Structure 1
Amino acid sequence: MRIIVPVHRLPHGWQDARGLEAGEVQARRALHGRNDVRGQPPHSAFQSLREAASDPMSWFLVGTSLLYFALGERVDGVVMLVALAPLLGMDVFLHHRTRASTEGLRGRLAARATVLRDGREEEVPAEDVVPGDLARVEAGDQFPADGLVVRGDGLQAEESSLTGESLPARKRPLGGLPPGAEPAVEGAHWGFAGTRLLTGTAWVRVIFTGPETLYGSILRSAGQEVRARTPLQHAVAHLVAVLVGVAAALCAVLALVRWRQGFGWLDALLSAATLGVAALPEEFPVALTFFLGAGVYRLARRQALVRQAVSVENIGRVSCVCSDKTGTLTEGLLRVARLLPSPGTSPRTLLWTAVLASREEGRDPLDVALREAGARELPELPGPAREATFPFTEERQRETAVVRQGPGTLLAAVKGAPERVLALCDLSPDAAREWALRVDALAREGHKVIACACRTLDAGHWHGGEPEQGYDFLGLVGCEDPVRAGVEEAVRECRDAGLRTVMVTGDHPRTALAVARKLGLGGAHPTVLTGEALESRLADTGQVPPVDVVARALPAQKYALVKALREQGEVVAATGDGVNDVPALQAADVGIAMGERGTRSAREASSIVLLNDDFGTLVSAIAEGRQLFSNLQRCFLYLLLIHIPLVGTAALVPLWGQPLLYLPIHIVWLELIIHPTAMLAFQAPARPGRLTPLRVRPASSVFSWREWAVLTGVGGLMACGLVWAYARCLAEGHDVERARAVAVATLVLASATFAAVLTRLRTRTARWVCALSLGLSGLLIQVPALAALVGLHPLHLRDGVRVLAAVAAALVPLLLAWPREQADWPRWRAGRPTTAPRPP
């Protein structure tokens, strides 16, 4: 990574140990502002509520609630207002999440900084740092801003939360600027805001502050992303609008016809009101809210915390997963994985020497890994007294410790870059070439490789210097960031289900390729591109090339990848755990953060948090999302199948000139059956270990034209059968109360049978709901005292046969159109067609 340096920001003699004067500080602060990455404040909660109030769905729920109150249905009116609360609360939550995300990002920045001003060191708030300041950063402290390292030895910085690199980044002072007004300087000479110095003491000349830092650019990218309404929300809103229009037209026509038929204004208004209550599609937005809430609960039981309810829908449509490597696919910790001792050297001796050459204290991940391996494998060996330590530097690329081995004897133990350690040892050219090949083989497997050697010294002749030659080569130590348990199986399940998985990492391409092969990404030959190569391809073609791994990726490149994939029609889930992942998490359709290792910024920017950091939990969450699609569409299918005959007969029979088919109490009764059936019977959970491929579904509709044909056909047959049964009852001279009982019984039986067919009675709840609706309705119709309360007369045997015949006639085409459960019909998908899994 190379960063442009605006030379005009550097004070005269910027490499000298000279700080700014007070006047310079004031002038630079007036020119560049304070060192504050927060930028513009987010919208207030009131603004979020005002924007949410403009949603047509909110106005529909308010209008429906007022209509229910006008009709005296206070309970239903209150239900509509309660259903409005989640819609308004969601936008308020987004406001809170944006503000919390900003605070989470800011929480990783240094609070105070030590700078050299007016010839003396002073500690100031980090917000007071200005370009040109000379800041001192101690081990364990955070860099207050972005600047050039001008002094320091043995410097290492922890940048994983910013760059995605799991290993510490070596830093070295800049000897001089390349020529030019704005020269480019390698990232090894930079200290970045939001990162931490692990070893040494660094003096940094500040160049960028506040929003101009790399950290600030990440925050700006995070704030620019705005989530659009999901396809399901659009589809439901469109369906509701159409149904409301149809209902309003029917009500107006019915009122006019009844008045022209001479039934009077009261009958006309009652007919229209009854039809309106039956026809208003309030169940659809309520069902959407309820099902999303149920999905949130189910995902929480699978250790996936949903921060935004509509993400339950989005995760079911995911077609591509962009996952970071460190801490997500891997554990994010270095571990000793391979010991290759030289002939005559035991693995224990090799490991013991590596531990001796490591610092006893410090946060260098390599030293931590070696110390942990030594404590695990060599618990009985005491640590000898150290006489001297020669720390790692960029120039030396090795670390040496001189320890007391016995009376009059010292041992010099060295570890470091293999080429440097091999040069210190007495090896033949052939042996050196053989070990170099082994180093390359370990590196291709994704290991960080160090070499170890030792030399015995005579304490009487040692004068305190580091031995430069004469070492005995002991072998190689390979460390790796291991793949998380179960991730390989989860990746395979995604591939088999047609999910494209792209690993995005800041690691070296060779390391990333080795991890990809272990995971099975891209089969036997994963396609690897660097972040720069991907950025170049996107600039040239505007299309994402076939790629399985993006290595050496910067935050902006991961963000660009997610945006490009979405523009190509993919529904993208992006996983991450660091600050560097925030833009991609917010740009994705579903941002998924790791809960255990993830930063607060990543969790606040995401819509789903995996509490156990298990990639397999992501697969389970996708399975639940896809099951939600199936459940919700079956629910909508049921609602339409039962409302088509209900609304059709409620309109046609009065238009025919007959008495009202349904009284308001009958509509309330039927709605009390329809609502619980729709909300409870279709809550089937995803089957464990079953992630089915997505099917094609246009984003603009809930059903395809074929499914609409089945709906209208079955609903029309049901309406015809109901009218036939009702008319036959009247033709035989029975009173209208018995004919109404036939109509109501037909709809109750149709409701139970349609629900049974659509749910396959897979759940206990579905079985109980269907049984209770039939049992309680049977009692209400057949017990004379109860039937009289609702204006009905009990049915005779012949009436029961007519009811069965009417339902059976409508059920036959539904059973013929409904394939086996394995075909997973109805099919739902918004986005790019995926009819079969991609080949590995």
Structure 2
Amino acid sequence: MTSDFTGLTEQEAGRRLVADGPNELPSAGPRRLWQIAFEILREPMFGLLLAGGAVYVALGDLVSGAVLMAFASLSVSISIVQEIRSEKVLDALRAMTSPRALVIRDGRSRRIPGREVVRGDVVLVAEGNRIPADGVLLEARELLVDESMLTGESVAVAKRARGSEAEGEGLRPGGDNIPAVFSGSLVVRGTGVVLVLATGAATEIGRIGKSLASIDAATPRLSLETRRLVRLFAMGGLLASVAVIVTYGLLRGSWLDAALAGIAVGMAMLPEEFPLVLAVFMTMGAWRISQARVLTRRATAIETLGAATVLCTDKTGTLTRNQMTVAACVPADGSDRVQLLRWAELACVPEAFDPMDRAIAQAASVQPESRSLVRGYGLSADLLAVTQVWRLPGTARLAVAAKGAPEAIIDLCRLLPEQARAVRDMVESLGAQGIRVLGVAHGWSDEESLPNSPRGYSFQWAGLVGLADPLRPEVPVAIAECLAAGLRVVMITGDHPTTARAIAREAGLSADTVLTGQDLLGLSDTELRTRVETVGVFARILPEQKLRIVEALQARGDVVAMTGDGVNDAPSLKRADIGIAMGGRGTDVAREASSIVLLDDDFGSVVRTVRLGRRIYDNLRKAMGYIVAVHVPIAGIALLPLLTGLPLILLPVHIAFLEMIIDPACSVAFEAEHEEPDVMTRPPRAPDARLFSPSMLVASVLQGVAALLVTSLVYLLAVQRGMPEDDVRTLTFFTLVLSNLGLIVANRSFRGHPFDFLTGGNRVLLGIQVLTIAFLAATVTIPPVRRLFGFGPLHLHDAAMVALACSLLGMTLALLRWLGRRWSRTGPLQRTGRR
């Protein structure tokens, strides 16, 4: 018993933690400041900024060179701070999702992070737990451990308690019936008490971890796609930059000016914001989902959420409260309710944590007694029942109690057909009320002859116990949201079909067709693939059958999200496109196999996660569209003077200023945008939909061309009027900056009303707009700043021309949006289903 162990004191555990270090596998560790800075400086944009500053210095314009260097330093500093904050957020999220261990400290059990386990700790392990460290077993009750992570052998091995003080030390993984357990292995049955002998790098898995520390994780598809886009644009920008330098130098004879012009064009055409946007959105997405009591263990899950077409959910604890109460008792003839509950309680696992066992124990109101467990028989695929054998005070024989599926108990008791039919009728009647029904049997046995299977005992029918688990109040609304969003919800449960159908109907699920585990056994993979299209409830499902259901749905082209909490759910959670584990009642292995963890075990959190995932993906596409659109007018205005021989407008300092607007706008401002009005009323996006589709590219380029035409019109009109070069640059640059703000607003919403500068609720965007306009005002009102940018004064009639041009752009962008909607109802989202 756990009361026999006192464990370490908190003070001693603290000393050992300091001496040995955390119980963690070796890792590469956090990146240092200089490493982050070096990676950021490798981005082409920063190299171009520094090169531009060097050219200014070579021309003798120290002020311009210093300002450009300052812009570069500011951009690098912002990026470094952003990277550090991102790493801290992700570290915090990883800490929250790390496995926890139940240890005995100062004679009391308490749950601590696995990294805080130390040598000498006494750890309690049970079915579904990951063993947190290497150790020796002080106690073991029918303990089976899966050590395949260490040995490659899929068959679980039995464990026993040590027989002497030294036994268990120096043993290696894979041995059967030995007293040693190892970090990372999984308890698949039974319970045990472990004395920790080694932690961290000193464990068996720690030695493997040393060779894995330098291996990088697989790069998500979004990262690969954005890198591909950046490479394509970078090659185009480099070629254009070289062409501009050669052309300008040959035609005008000034090679230093040619270098400045080439750098400006390269900066204008390089959309280096793509990786920045992806990093910010993934980090902030994980943080926002954590605010909804949901943890994202894999960033790729955020990308997949918007494409989910089927959600497979458990019933108990997910759709229901997981607060079982005994709702009905049907004793056998000649017995009463008290006797039935007494036998049902004896059939429960000692120190039970299962809600049904707890409900039965509470209803039985059993007083503590000096009984002892002699043997227990767990649930198996061929017998859906548990059996316990007890030595009770005052009795010479052993008491045997069994409970489980009524069909299994009927089989154990060998009831006559008439009796079995009456029991099944009662089960159907109770199940129709949403009550989960368990059969109960009892018997006696001599201690000398305990059979290997419960079928070896002589059982008598004790009766039926009905348990009710009320539906969570938020479930019907959440399921209605899923259905409206085109997300099909399927219940997969081990309950009786009648009970499952009743709960499904109460929750708002389709329950017209129910497929049982027995039915599923007779179906081939091809037949199952056809049946899953119409089945809304799977009942009496075995653990291995959940995996078949998930694979059958995926074979049809569905993107499957799967909820689960137990060890038996781990294969299906890992196989699903999105595994969703219960954080409160879920086992460690279920959480490790999943990509998302619900901290509150609330089905409503699943819906909130889908909603947030769709919002993240939408906003990411908006930001990408804006980035392409805004680089069209910048590149065009950089190239136009070179092609026409007219005055040069954009210098590196101007491009740097524009980047100070573009970077926060495309990352922070778009990330903060509210969800689309139809975010949960449209079908899921196609699984193979590209982040940046051809139609979206065309729409973005057309927006950019409209901004370029308006800006070029102002530029050519100013030149035609014979205005000084500084005045031409002022008008053109003002128009370009304001067009940039217009493009931001135009891309804020796919279907809403984007031109709501003040009422849209995006404070980040409002701040960017105010600061941009204030800085523009400073460039023409403060002489040193005006000279730095090469601007002339902005007269009232000039400002009116800029305002008129921007109004024309606004109307053009509105027209393009209207035409786009007429051309395709789905617009840039490409909301096509999988079929």
Matched, 1:675 2:672: no
Matched, 1:585 2:573: yes
Cα deviation for residue 572 of structure 1 reads 2.9
CA gap 1:197/1:130 in 2 versus in 1, 3 angstroms: same
**Aligned 8 A contact 1:593 1:608 in 2:** yes
| Range 364-373 or range 240-249, more displaced | 364-373
Cα deviation for residue 671 of structure 1 reads 1.6
Matched, 1:726 2:726: no
CA gap 1:730/1:83 in 2 versus in 1, 3 angstroms: same
Mapping of 1:223-242 within 5 angstroms? 229-242=219-232
Mapping of 1:239-254 within 5 angstroms? 239-254=229-244
- Quote the Cα distance in structure 2 between the aligned partners of 1:313 and 1:331: 30
Indicate the residue corresponding to 1:35 in structure 2.
none
Cα deviation for residue 739 of structure 1 reads 0.7
- Quote the Cα distance in structure 1 between the aligned partners of 2:299 and 2:425: 53
The letter for the 2-side match of 1:833 is G
Cα deviation for residue 286 of structure 1 reads 0.5
RMSD: 5.7
User: Please, which of 458, 467, 482 is the counterpart of residue 479 of structure 1?
Assistant: 467
Q: Which has the larger radius of gyration?
A: 1
TM-score, reference length from structure 1? 0.66
CA gap 1:644/1:582 in 2 versus in 1, 3 angstroms: same
Q: Deviations over 1:389-421 (max 9, x none)?
A: 9999999999999999xxxxxxx9x99798999
Mapping of 1:319-338 within 5 angstroms? 319-332=309-322, 334-338=324-328
User: Please, which of 168, 171, 193 is the counterpart of residue 125 of structure 1?
Assistant: 168
The letter for the 2-side match of 1:322 is C
Q: Deviations over 1:140-198 (max 9, x none)?
A: xxx989xxxxxxxxxxxxxxxx9xxxxxxxxxxxxxxxxxxxxxxxxxxxxx9521169
**Aligned 8 A contact 2:89 2:283 in 1:** no
Cα deviation for residue 708 of structure 1 reads 2.9
Mapping of 1:15-414 within 5 angstroms? 45=27, 62-71=43-52, 72=69, 73-77=72-76, 105-107=130-132, 111-112=136-137, 124-125=167-168, 194-196=188-190, 229-332=219-322, 334-339=324-329, 350=337, 354-355=341-342, 358-359=345-346, 362-363=350-351, 368-373=358-363
The letter for the 2-side match of 1:787 is R
CA gap 1:497/1:111 in 2 versus in 1, 3 angstroms: farther
Q: Deviations over 1:643-693 (max 9, x none)?
A: 211111111222221232112221122222222222333212448996232
CA gap 1:385/1:735 in 2 versus in 1, 3 angstroms: closer
**Aligned 8 A contact 1:559 1:584 in 2:** yes
Indicate the residue corresponding to 1:502 in structure 2.
490
Cα deviation for residue 833 of structure 1 reads 1.9
Matched, 1:640 2:628: yes
User: Please, which of 596, 600, 610 is the counterpart of residue 598 of structure 2?
Assistant: 610
**Aligned 8 A contact 1:738 1:794 in 2:** yes
Mapping of 1:689-708 within 5 angstroms? 691-694=680-683, 696=685, 699=688, 701-708=690-697
Q: Deviations over 1:484-528 (max 9, x none)?
A: 442343233212211133334455656555544443333433455
CA gap 1:58/1:708 in 2 versus in 1, 3 angstroms: same
CA gap 1:537/1:236 in 2 versus in 1, 3 angstroms: same
Cα deviation for residue 436 of structure 1 reads 5.5
Q: Deviations over 1:354-407 (max 9, x none)?
A: 3587449934655532332356xxxxxx96999999999999999999999xxx
Mapping of 1:542-561 within 5 angstroms? 546-551=534-539, 553=541, 557-559=545-547, 561=549
- Quote the Cα distance in structure 2 between the aligned partners of 1:268 and 1:534: 77
**Aligned 8 A contact 2:703 2:816 in 1:** no
- Quote the Cα distance in structure 1 between the aligned partners of 2:271 and 2:27: 30
Cα deviation for residue 704 of structure 1 reads 3.8
Indicate the residue corresponding to 1:738 in structure 2.
727
The letter for the 2-side match of 1:709 is V
**Aligned 8 A contact 1:752 1:770 in 2:** yes
Indicate the residue corresponding to 2:61 in structure 1.
none
Cα deviation for residue 350 of structure 1 reads 3.5
**Aligned 8 A contact 2:529 2:552 in 1:** no
Matched, 1:570 2:558: yes
Matched, 1:763 2:761: yes
**Aligned 8 A contact 1:83 1:286 in 2:** no
Indicate the residue corresponding to 1:489 in structure 2.
477
Cα deviation for residue 108 of structure 1 reads 10
CA gap 1:197/1:680 in 2 versus in 1, 3 angstroms: closer
- Quote the Cα distance in structure 2 between the aligned partners of 1:555 and 1:270: 67
Cα deviation for residue 45 of structure 1 reads 4.5
Indicate the residue corresponding to 2:833 in structure 1.
833
Cα deviation for residue 738 of structure 1 reads 0.8
The letter for the 1-side match of 2:341 is A
CA gap 1:531/1:99 in 2 versus in 1, 3 angstroms: farther
User: Please, which of 701, 713, 720 is the counterpart of residue 702 of structure 2?
Assistant: 713
Q: Deviations over 1:683-710 (max 9, x none)?
A: 1244899623245468464344443333
- Quote the Cα distance in structure 2 between the aligned partners of 1:228 and 1:747: 40
CA gap 1:527/1:438 in 2 versus in 1, 3 angstroms: closer
**Aligned 8 A contact 2:301 2:578 in 1:** yes
Say which SS state the counterpart of residue 524 (structure 2) adopts: helix
Indicate the residue corresponding to 1:185 in structure 2.
none
- Quote the Cα distance in structure 2 between the aligned partners of 1:420 and 1:555: 17
Higher relative contact order structure (alpha carbons within 8 Å, sequence separation ≥ 6): 1
The letter for the 1-side match of 2:359 is A
- Quote the Cα distance in structure 2 between the aligned partners of 1:555 and 1:435: 26
Q: Which runs of 5 or more structure 1 residues have no equivalent in the other structure?
A: 1-41, 137-142, 146-161, 163-191, 199-225, 376-381, 405-411, 454-470, 836-840
The letter for the 1-side match of 2:581 is A
Cα deviation for residue 231 of structure 1 reads 4.4
CA gap 1:618/1:601 in 2 versus in 1, 3 angstroms: same
- Quote the Cα distance in structure 2 between the aligned partners of 1:603 and 1:233: 25
- Quote the Cα distance in structure 2 between the aligned partners of 1:508 and 1:514: 10
- Quote the Cα distance in structure 2 between the aligned partners of 1:610 and 1:801: 55
**Aligned 8 A contact 2:529 2:553 in 1:** no
Tell me how many residue pairs correspond in the alignment. Answer: 679
- Quote the Cα distance in structure 1 between the aligned partners of 2:372 and 2:274: 76
- Quote the Cα distance in structure 1 between the aligned partners of 2:132 and 2:373: 36
Cα deviation for residue 636 of structure 1 reads 2.0
Cα deviation for residue 248 of structure 1 reads 1.6
The letter for the 1-side match of 2:717 is R
| Range 269-278 or range 685-694, more displaced | 685-694
- Quote the Cα distance in structure 2 between the aligned partners of 1:328 and 1:739: 65
Indicate the residue corresponding to 1:438 in structure 2.
426
Cα deviation for residue 587 of structure 1 reads 3.5
**Aligned 8 A contact 2:248 2:254 in 1:** yes
| Percent identical residues | 29
Cα deviation for residue 811 of structure 1 reads 2.6
Indicate the residue corresponding to 1:148 in structure 2.
none
- Quote the Cα distance in structure 2 between the aligned partners of 1:689 and 1:704: 20
| Range 83-92 or range 797-806, more displaced | 83-92
Matched, 1:748 2:725: no
Say which SS state the counterpart of residue 328 (structure 2) adopts: strand
Indicate the residue corresponding to 2:616 in structure 1.
628
- Quote the Cα distance in structure 1 between the aligned partners of 2:372 and 2:738: 89
- Quote the Cα distance in structure 2 between the aligned partners of 1:387 and 1:555: 33
